[in-house]
């Protein structure tokens, strides 16, 4: 860190100059400041940075070469682009700065620091400029984005100045950057001088917190773009010509006004100056309406909106519907005095001059934007969350806090809880496997009126990015995405549906069974590959839909038939069913103890006061934070014992079935187990998946299996019900029947054709179990598949 | 009464005085608020303040204190204004500090110094308020009668009085206080019929006038939630604690009326103004909404406001005060009301019983997503193609403070906007029928539904109704996202067969055995068949004495506010009962049924003024439910195919 004593002679220089910094200060700077160029490329890459770091003393050149350069000459004619976002600063700056120094209580200190900090700033930007040369040639956008948070950790006072006087400080930054850049790369040709764009100022503010004290300060607020205007040409410099002597003059716009020269300086004719439009200089400007994002809003109030002006290349950077963080200067338009009126309206109009846009959800379709996803937790909150996590019964606590108004179904709640946390995201794309699903899908099926819808509603309200749809009411496009022609711009716009919208969230689908087949088919891809491929009206793309699906289905016969398998009860294709990690049955248990507890629960619901309830359960906000924290900070990995336990569990599962000649587990089940174990570790805020997690995952998985994959004929758990839609016993029986039929036909000798009905009757007579027509047809079909016979109408022909 | 005139007629003068005395110390604001709070504490004093609800804007003096009973329809963005500014007298060069609070315009007869160091910028919030939607006529009349503050019309305006006799006219203008004494008593309602009508005509005059005035350009949509509403809309400027108010709250606002024509002049001036880049911040539509002419939408600078628990003029604002006295004869009133409603419901006492329970129900708490205490009632068996439902609605309207009848005709379903929607061009929340104040009754008339196709709007509307019925929430449409607003609306469905409503909602299972999501379905069994329904109902209504009618009104509003609890002992009994019932036949009673039984028991206890559940009441609730389900079963047998 440079101190005034280190550069005593340069300390009081004007802002334009750039005194060298002691080289030893540089590493500090590099460490603390990360410079992001053009919002995309970050120069924190270690290798080049070190290189520059090492070489920087060499590239500094002699001090004299810099001293002579005023900012203008040093930049050798690269056009200065005006910064309308900073207002009419070029004129006012000097004055304003001086007046600041004069008035401010810490005047001497601040003046001192302006010169001095600039140095540090400059050295720091050094890196940026190095990178920039590299960048600018490629990108061609001479913009330097600076994260204010880094600036703050580097020097709080400089940061304070930036926040308080952005209109003065940012141009100073600009100067520093440009001087350094052109000094380093005197030969580079860029479109205009480099502009500094700070972002992430202070704490990201809520629109609701803006108050009059923020006027003319640098602020960052988040919100959603709701409307953008057309491009507005705004005059920056007016060109006047005298109509008498053709003398021309330029007048700069000052605070939105042009001082029209009343007298021609050349010929002294009054009122002869006329504005020449096409020689005046205009800049682009766009009005953007920003609305508070729905998460920031207190309940029961309507969202606030703010007007934002974007200038020059920021125009058309955002579209309506985008979630953005905007850094800019908050302004109140001064009241104009109208000489014709004795009274003035006392209301200021406010707007924000945008300096930097940062789309919060920009990367959502491409990958995780870690920084934007991060939810900010206060230290205190983190401590309470940690405390909660340390409790041994945290898992039970959380699961009972989930939808407390819904009674019992503890295992289902635990399953949903694990779904909320999700597994760890893994990337196997290098080994060709692609992403590995981390989301847990759950299907609830069961009797009507067992509060499935309520559970879904609860989850939908709990998770930040939940979507709630009903199978009956949604079409394939409603779930995925559709292409729409914007009525105004005539552009094709991709509108995303529920599944894409709940990327990184949970998509709750009610009445899953009532969904049409075509709609359901899109779920196949989403539920395993976690992507959504679109090929419509000239748009072909693959969207990420890393969503967990929580679905609810009703049995076909309105009441669950315990004599049938899950597949038969809900009539869903097994290909889809096997994609659910957990399938729970919600049945009416019909026993007395249960009834009693249920009654007690319901009655207490109706007379307990609100406060009592608060005490009894964790509140929803706590649960929300807990989940959000775990999701963003905890990434559990399998420990050695845990992986052994998983292997053992899987082998055991396969063994159960193999004894009876059927397979009771598939690799999909192993993956489910891993996900569940990871989620359980997340619940404990543990970075390691341990044996207890595996145990719980096994238990839950078994519970769910016991309920949904039990073969009603044998009473054994049989996973093939879910994977092939038919239990192994049923398959065996089918096989036997086909063989019996074959034997029957063979016993008849060499007859080429047979009557269908005749054969059926013969088979029935021969068999000791009842054979239905369906079974017979299945057997025939099986033989047809073997190319043994063909069925044409009422005759069976041997081949 | 010079003091009264001071603080009512010139509140700004008082504000200025306090400001001047305080010498810029920041506590002057609290002093102002305390001053007015003190003045308004006295009930009588509060009634001297003229009300915007009854007195047309052009009768009121600009910058005087008025009150407004209103409903927050929308909240605009906060605005910054000159809190303190300095004026310079050009002749003497003396500078004076002035306050810009509670004003729309800064008076600067002198020069305003905008760049002075002493200027303070402050923030205030604007609410767009409309009269309470669906407020019954009797409520309006009763309020306006109890408010003696009549303002002498200014000489420049000659109101068109239609029917008023000369005597009445004089009476009103010269003897306001005498009239107050006359009307304040309980016999006030009898007078309503005499004097209420012409008054209302007068109130309506400006709105018809305004329509004519703005008709030449395009009519200004005042954005009332319900079609056919009348009354002043108002931009209420809130200076303190605006976070405490919510959309759909009902308030009584005391504030300074501002109708300065400058407000409108500025907006007109804009069209011809200089090339100002800032002008494009607001589109024409937005201008029209946010700065409507002050003569149509006056500004009200709030000095004091309180949220209303109810809008029943017969009860004191804090309903609990009145309860103790009234609870003594609650049983007799209930008996009378039951008799009355039985007559109205063509002799069906069971339906009348359920109707009472419905009318006193309210959502008293929410557990996660589950609203507790809602009691949606479906009265089926209403005769089709007759005016019976309309008559029934009239009767209900007579009893409760605010209500709305929505005829569920295909046309209405396909064309009405039920759910409020954000209009981003005009930057406001376009109101919809379902934007209603708490405890409003929504009467859905399903008998008007005919066969035909619902278009996408229709489906959305019906979904919204279904959400309202099952979750007591309305998802306002913000185009890019939806926002959930919890509500508390009593829904009464009159239908011919069983209502279709809950079954069309997407979140509810559509299986034949699914439990009815309307909390309660009662089939009407008429005992009488009067040849002329209309005449029959009106005879019943006429025979009802006004004092009894008032008792009914108090009864229905008051019982909603009572607290309720269940003792340990009864809890145990209820549990035992439930287990017992399940033992016999698990299909007979489900958790849903227990939910409903508990609500019925609660309402039944409250309806006789008991705040705890007793064993008897529980048995009575079970009995009622059995009667009701039996009737539905019977109907099923008769109709066969009815779900």
pLDDT tens across B586-629, in order?
666 777 778 888 888 888 888 888 888 888 888 888 888 888 88
| A718-743 tens-digit pLDDT | 656 555 555 666 667 777 777 888 88
Which pLDDT band holds residue B201 (cuts at 50, 70, 90)? very low
Instruction: Write out the H or E segment, with its range, that includes residue A332.
Output: strand A323-333
pLDDT at B6 over 60: yes
Of the segments A282-296, A709-723, B491-505, which one has the largest average pLDDT value?
A282-296
Q: In this predicted structure, what is the pLDDT of residue B571? A: 81
Task: In whole angstroms, give the CA distance from residue A292 to residue A526.
Answer: 31
Least trusted range by pLDDT, from A56-70, B96-110, B216-230, B310-324: A56-70
**ipTM computed for the complex:** 0.73
Q: CA-to-CA distance for A524 and A377, rounded, in angstroms?
A: 36
Comparing A53-62, B30-39, B523-532, the range with the smallest average pLDDT is A53-62
pLDDT top residue among B12 and A608: B12
Q: H helices of B327-481, where? A: 330-344, 349-359, 388-399, 410-415, 456-471
Arithmetic mean of pLDDT over chain A: 68
pLDDT for the residue A250: 85
Say yes or no for a CB contact (<8 Å) between B507 and A470.
Answer: yes
Contact status of B24 with chain A (Cβ, < 8 Å): no
CB A193 within 8 A of CB A178: yes
Provide the pLDDT for residue A589. 63
**Which of helix, strand or coil describes residue A440?**
coil
Query: What pLDDT score was predicted for residue A29?
Result: 35
Cβ-Cβ contacts under 8 Å, A351 against chain B:
278, 281
Residue A475's pLDDT is what? Answer: 61
Ranges A66-70, A189-193, A605-609, most confident? A189-193
* Lowest mean pLDDT segment, chosen from B208-212, B441-445, B573-577: B208-212
Q: If you compute the radius of gyration of chain A from its CA atoms, what whole number of angstroms results?
A: 36
Written in H, E and C, the secondary structure of A697-737 is HHHHHHHHHHHHCECCCCCCECCHHHHCCCCHHHHHHHHHH
Lowest pLDDT segment from A2-6, A684-688, B376-380: A2-6
Which one of B109, B237, B509, B514 would you mutate to disrupt binding with A, by most A Cβ within 10 Å of its Cβ?
B509
Q: What is the pLDDT of residues B460-515, one digit of tens each?
A: 788 788 888 878 888 888 877 778 888 889 888 888 777 666 543 322 222 223 33
B window 595-624, beta carbon within 8 A of A: 595, 598-599, 602
> What is the share, in percent, of chain A residues with pLDDT greater than 90?
0
Q: Return d(Cα B560, Cα B248) in angstroms, integer.
A: 19
Give residues with Cβ within 8 angstroms of A213, minimum separation 6.
Answer: none
The reply to whether residue A592 touches residue B582, judged by beta carbons under 8 angstroms, is yes
Residue A29: closest CA among A185, A153, A176: A153
**Nearest residue to A548 via CA among A667, A707, A416, A670:** A416
CB B600 within 8 A of CB B624: yes
Split at pLDDT 50, 70, 90, the class of B215 is very low
Residues 6+ positions from A25 with CB-CB distance below 8 Å: A1, A2, A6, A120, A123
Band the pLDDT of A74: cuts 50, 70, 90.
very low
Question: DSSP 3-state assignment of A283?
Answer: strand
* B421 bridge partner residues: B430, B477
pLDDT at A390 over 50: yes
Taken as a whole, chain B contains a residue count of: 643
- CA gap B270, B262 in Å, rounded: 12
Average pLDDT, integer, range B52-67: 83
A-facing residues of B in 550-569 (CB < 8 A) are: 564-566
Q: Is the pLDDT assigned to residue B180 strictly greater than 50?
A: no
Out of A291, A335, A558, name the one closest to residue B511 (CB). Answer: A558
Residue A444 pairs in a beta bridge with: A552, A584
**Span B127-142, average pLDDT:** 88
Determine, for residues B424 and A599 on separate chains, whether the beta-carbon distance falls below 8 Å: no
- Residue A84 confidence (pLDDT): 67
Quickly state the pLDDT bin for A134 (edges 50, 70, 90): very low
More confident residue, A658 or B548: B548
Tell me the pLDDT tens digit for each residue of A226-273: 878 888 888 888 888 888 888 888 888 776 677 778 888 778 777 888
Percent of chain A with pLDDT strictly greater than 70: 61
What is the reported pLDDT for A48? 36
pLDDT surpassing 50 at residue A69: no
Q: What pLDDT, on the 0 to 100 scale, is given for residue A454?
A: 76
Q: Which residues of B touch A334 (CB under 8 A)?
A: 114
Residues of B in contact with A320 (CB under 8 A): 480
**C-alpha pair distances (Å), B442 with each of A171, A273, B135, B380:** 61, 68, 12, 16
pLDDT at A65: 35
Q: Which residues of chain B does A558 touch, with a Cβ-Cβ cutoff of 8 Å?
A: 511-513
A332 CA: distance to closest CA in chain B (Å)? 8
Shortest distance, CA A37 to any CA of chain B (angstroms): 31
Contacts of B568 (CB under 8 A, 6+ apart): none
| Residue B390 or residue A190, greater confidence | B390
Range with the largest mean pLDDT of A327-341, A374-388, B354-368? B354-368
Most confident of A481-490, B385-394, B412-421: B412-421
Question: What is residue A427's predicted lDDT score, i.e. its pLDDT?
Answer: 63
Closest CA to A178 of A85, A80, A265: A80
- Asked if pLDDT for residue A640 goes beyond 70, the answer is yes
A443 within 8 A of A566, measured Cβ to Cβ: no
**HSE of A257, CA atoms in CB hemisphere, 13 A:** 10
Count of beta carbons in the 10 Å neighbourhood of residue B414: 16
Residue B279 forms contact with A (CB below 8 Å) = no
The average pLDDT across A111-131 equals 40
User: Cα–Cα distances in Å, from A101 out to A58, A94, A109, A111, B415?
Assistant: 36, 11, 9, 7, 64
Question: What mean pLDDT is predicted for residues A303-308?
Answer: 86
Q: Which residues of A touch B512 (CB under 8 A)?
A: 558
pLDDT at B372: 81
- In this predicted structure, the answer to whether residue A113 has a pLDDT above a threshold of 70 is no
Where on the phi/psi map is residue A734: left (φ > 0), alpha (ψ -120 to 50), or beta? alpha
Burial label, B467 (beta-carbon count in 10 A; 0-12, 13-18, 19+): buried
């Amino acid at each position: 860190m440079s101190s005034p004593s280190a550069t005593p002679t340069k300390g009081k220089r004007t802002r334009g100059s750039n005194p060298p910094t002691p080289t030893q200060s540089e590493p500090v700077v590099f460490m603390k400041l990360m410079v992001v160029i053009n919002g995309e490329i970050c120069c924190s890459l270690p290798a080049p940075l070190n290189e520059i770091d090492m070489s920087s003393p060499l590239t500094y050149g002699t001090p004299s070469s810099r001293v002579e350069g005023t900012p203008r000459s040093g930049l050798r004619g690269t056009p200065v682009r005006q910064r309308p976002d900073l207002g009419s600063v070029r004129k006012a700056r000097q004055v304003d700065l001086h007046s600041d120094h004069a008035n401010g209580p810490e005047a001497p200190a601040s003046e001192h620091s302006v010169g001095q900090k600039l140095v540090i700033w400059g050295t720091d930007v050094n890196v940026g400029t190095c990178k920039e040369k590299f960048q600018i040639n490629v990108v061609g956008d001479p913009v330097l984005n600076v994260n204010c948070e880094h600036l703050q950790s580097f020097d709080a006072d400089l940061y304070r100045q930036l926040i308080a006087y952005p209109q003065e400080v940012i141009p100073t930054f600009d100067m520093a950057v440009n001087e350094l850049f052109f000094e380093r790369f005197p030969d580079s040709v860029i479109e205009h001088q480099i502009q500094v764009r700070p972002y992430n100022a202070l704490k990201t503010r809520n629109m609701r917190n803006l108050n009059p004290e923020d006027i003319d300060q640098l602020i960052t607020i988040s919100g959603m773009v709701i409307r953008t205007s057309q491009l507005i040409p705004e005059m920056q410099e007016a060109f006047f010509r005298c109509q008498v002597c053709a003398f021309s003059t330029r007048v700069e716009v000052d605070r939105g006004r042009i001082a029209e020269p009343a007298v021609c300086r050349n010929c002294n004719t009054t009122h002869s100056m006329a504005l020449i439009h096409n020689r005046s200089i205009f800049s682009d400007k766009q009005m953007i309406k920003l609305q508070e994002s729905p998460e920031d809003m207190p309940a029961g109030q309507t969202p606030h909106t703010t007007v934002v002006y974007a200038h020059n290349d920021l125009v058309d950077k955002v579209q309506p519907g985008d979630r953005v963080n905007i850094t800019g200067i908050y302004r109140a338009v001064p009241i104009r005095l109208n000489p014709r009126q004795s009274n003035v309206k006392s209301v200021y109009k406010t707007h924000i001059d945008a300096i930097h846009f940062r789309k919060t959800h920009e990367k959502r379709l491409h990958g995780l934007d870690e920084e934007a996803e991060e939810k900010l937790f206060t230290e205190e909150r983190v401590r309470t969350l940690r405390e909660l996590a340390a409790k041994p019964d945290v898992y039970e606590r959380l699961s009972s806090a989930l939808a407390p108004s819904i009674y019992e179904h503890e295992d289902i709640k635990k399953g949903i809880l694990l779904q909320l946390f999700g597994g760890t995201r893994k990337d196997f794309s290098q080994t060709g496997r692609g992403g590995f699903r981390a989301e847990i899908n759950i299907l609830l099926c069961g009797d009507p009126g067992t509060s499935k819808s309520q559970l879904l509603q609860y989850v939908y309200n709990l998770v930040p990015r939940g979507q709630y749809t009903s199978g009956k009411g949604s079409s394939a496009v409603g779930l995925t995405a559709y292409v729409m022609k914007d009525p105004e711009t005539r552009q094709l716009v991709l509108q995303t549906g529920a599944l894409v919208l709940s990327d990184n969230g949970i998509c709750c689908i009610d009445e899953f069974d009532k969904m049409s087949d075509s709609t359901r088919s899109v779920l196949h891809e989403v539920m395993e590959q976690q992507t959504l491929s679109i090929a419509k009206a000239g748009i072909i793309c693959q969207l990420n839909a890393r969503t967990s699906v929580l679905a609810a289905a009703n049995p076909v016969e309105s009441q669950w038939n315990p004599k049938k398998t899950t597949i038969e009860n809900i009539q869903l294709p097994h290909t889809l069913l096997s994609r659910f990690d957990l399938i729970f049955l919600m049945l009416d248990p019909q026993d007395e103890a249960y009834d009693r507890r249920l009654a007690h629960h319901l009655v207490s619901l109706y007379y307990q006061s609100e406060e009592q309830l608060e005490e009894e359960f964790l509140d929803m906000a706590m649960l929300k934070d807990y989940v959000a924290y775990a999701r963003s900070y905890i990434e559990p990995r399998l420990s050695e014992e845990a992986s052994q336990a998983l292997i053992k569990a899987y082998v055991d599962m396969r063994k159960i079935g193999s004894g009876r000649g059927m397979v009771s587990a598939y690799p999909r089940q192993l993956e489910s187990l891993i996900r569940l174990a990871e989620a359980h570790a997340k619940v404990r805020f543990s970075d390691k998946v341990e044996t207890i997690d595996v145990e719980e995952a096994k238990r839950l998985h078994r519970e769910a299996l016991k309920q949904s994959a039990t073969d009603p004929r044998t009473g054994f758990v049989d996973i093939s019900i879910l994977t092939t839609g038919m239990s192994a016993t049923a398959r065996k029986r089918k096989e036997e029947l086909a063989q019996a039929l074959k034997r029957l036909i063979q016993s008849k000798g060499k007859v080429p054709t047979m009557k269908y009905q005749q054969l059926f009757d013969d088979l029935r007579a021969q068999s000791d179990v009842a054979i239905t027509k369906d079974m017979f047809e299945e057997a025939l079909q099986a033989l047809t598949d073997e190319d043994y016979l063909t069925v044409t109408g009422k005759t069976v022909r041997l081949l | 009464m010079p003091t009264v005139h001071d603080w009512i007629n010139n509140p700004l003068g008082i504000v200025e005085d306090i400001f001047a005395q305080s010498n810029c110390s920041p506590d002057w604001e609290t002093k102002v608020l305390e001053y007015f709070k003190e003045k308004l504490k006295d009930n009588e004093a509060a009634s001297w303040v003229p009300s915007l609800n009854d007195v047309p804007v052009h009768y009121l003096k600009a910058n005087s204190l008025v009150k407004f009973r209103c409903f927050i329809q929308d909240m605009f963005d906060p605005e910054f204004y000159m809190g303190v500014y300095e004026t310079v007298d050009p002749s003497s060069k003396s500078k004076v500090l002035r306050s810009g609070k509670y004003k729309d315009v800064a008076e600067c007869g002198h020069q305003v110094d905008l760049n002075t160091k002493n200027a303070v910028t402050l923030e205030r919030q604007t609410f767009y308020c409309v009269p309470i939607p669906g407020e019954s006529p009797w409520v309006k009349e009763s309020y306006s009668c109890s408010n003696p503050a009549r303002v002498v019309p200014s000489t420049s305006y000659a109101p068109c009085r239609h029917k008023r006799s000369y005597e009445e006219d004089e009476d009103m203008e010269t003897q306001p206080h005498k009239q107050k004494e006359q009307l304040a008593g309980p016999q006030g309602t009898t007078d309503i019929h005499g004097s209420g009508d012409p008054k209302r005509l007068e109130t309506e005059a400006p709105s018809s006038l305004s329509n004519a005035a703005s008709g030449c350009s395009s009519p200004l949509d005042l954005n009332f939630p319900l079609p056919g509403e009348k009354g002043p809309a108002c931009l209420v400027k809130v200076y303190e604690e605006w976070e405490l108010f919510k959309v759909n709250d009902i308030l009584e606002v005391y504030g300074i009326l501002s109708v300065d024509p400058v407000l409108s002049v500025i907006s007109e001036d804009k069209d011809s103004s200089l090339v100002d880049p800032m002008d494009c911040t607001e589109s024409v539509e937005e201008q029209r909404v946010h700065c409507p002419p002050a003569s149509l939408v006056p500004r009200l600078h709030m000095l004091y406001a309180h949220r209303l628990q109810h809008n029943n003029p017969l009860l004191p604002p804090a309903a609990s005060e009145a309860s103790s006295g009234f609870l003594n004869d609650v049983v007799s009133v209930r008996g009378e009301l039951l008799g009355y409603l039985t007559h109205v419901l063509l002799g069906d006492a069971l339906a009348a019983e359920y109707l009472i329970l419905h009318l006193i129900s309210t959502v008293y708490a929410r557990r996660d997503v589950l609203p507790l205490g809602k009691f949606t009632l479906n009265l089926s068996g209403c005769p089709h193609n007759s005016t019976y439902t309309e008559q029934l609605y009239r009767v209900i309207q007579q009893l409760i403070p605010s209500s709305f009848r929505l005829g569920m005709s295909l046309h209405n379903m396909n064309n009405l906007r039920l759910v409020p929607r954000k209009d981003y061009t005009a930057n406001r929340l376009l109101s919809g029928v379902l934007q209603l104040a708490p405890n409003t009754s929504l009467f859905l008339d399903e008998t008007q539904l005919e066969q035909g196709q619902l278009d996408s709007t229709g489906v959305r509307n019906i979904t919204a109704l279904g959400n309202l019925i099952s979750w007591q929430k309305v998802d306002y449409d913000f185009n890019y996202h939806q926002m959930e607003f919890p509500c508390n609306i009593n829904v009464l469905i009159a239908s011919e067969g069983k209502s279709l409503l809950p079954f069309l909602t997407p979140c509810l299972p559509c299986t034949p055995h699914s439990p009815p999501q309307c909390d309660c379905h009662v089939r009407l069994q008429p005992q009488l068949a009067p040849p002329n329904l209309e005449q029959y109902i009106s005879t019943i209504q006429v025979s009802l004495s006004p004092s009894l009618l008032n008792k009914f009104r108090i009864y229905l509003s008051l019982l909603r506010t009572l607290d309720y609890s269940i003792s340990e002992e009864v809890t145990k009994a209820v549990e035992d009962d439930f287990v017992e019932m399940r033992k016999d036949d698990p299909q007979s009673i489900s958790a849903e049924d227990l939910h409903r039984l508990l609500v019925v028991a609660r309402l039944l206890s409250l309806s006789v003024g008991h705040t705890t559940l007793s064993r008897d009441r529980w048995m009575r609730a079970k009995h009622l439910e059995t009667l009701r389900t039996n009737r539905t079963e019977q109907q099923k047998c008769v109709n066969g195919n009815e779900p």
